[in-house]
Amino acid sequence: MKNVVSRERRMAAATCKKMRTLRSITNSHAYSKTSIILDATKYIDELKHRVERINQDIAMAQNSTCQKSCPVQLRVEAQDKGFLIKVFSERCCGGLLVFLLEAFEELGLDIFQARVSCSEGFLFEAVGVKDDQGSSECLNVQDIKRGVWKAIQNWSNQVKERT
């Protein structure tokens, strides 16, 4: 009987130590096991999202060679009512506008104001605002850049497949 009690105490102490460690790793302020585990789950989800974003950034950097074959410049600026997105190329970019508009849709942005020129090269300037019916997720400049670069890369890949 004495061995059973001491074994249970050792197991309880080990569990308590593991919970303290988990609590400190996840910066949790919870005290109950359930709350600590829920905080750990949220922390793991945050880490997964960070890894996904880092992988996307790495992919964008690796695919920046696309700029050499299709020199498209992108600038995104935060504004009071949304984001100013400018896409420019010295050469004609047939079909790129469709990919950009699809990117706006995927990002949940409505076009508040836009200007497009395809006469000498390609110029797209638009103010995008978060649509009210979209998710509650907040967008930042990096999110917009990622989404628009993805559209530019998809367009570039389609152009390469045709040639």
What is the CA 77 to chain-centroid distance, rounded?
16
Whether residue 36 sits in one domain with residue 6: yes
- H-helix or E-strand spanning residue 44: helix 33-62
Q: Are residues 50 and 112 in the same domain?
A: no
* Domain identity same for 56 and 80: no
pLDDT digits (tens, 9 = 90+) for 109-162: 988 889 998 877 899 999 998 876 544 467 888 989 999 999 999 998 887 777
- For residues 138 and 148, give the distance between their C-alpha atoms in angstroms, rounded to a whole number: 16
Q: Are residues 140 and 105 in the same domain?
A: yes
pTM of the model: 0.54
Domain boundary among 64, 87, 105: 64
Q: How many domains does the chain have?
A: 2
Domain that holds residue 43: 1-64
Is the Cα torsion angle 68, 73, 74, 77 positive or negative in sign? positive
pLDDT of residue 137: 63
Average pLDDT over residues 57-79: 69
CATH number, domain with residue 156: 3.30.70
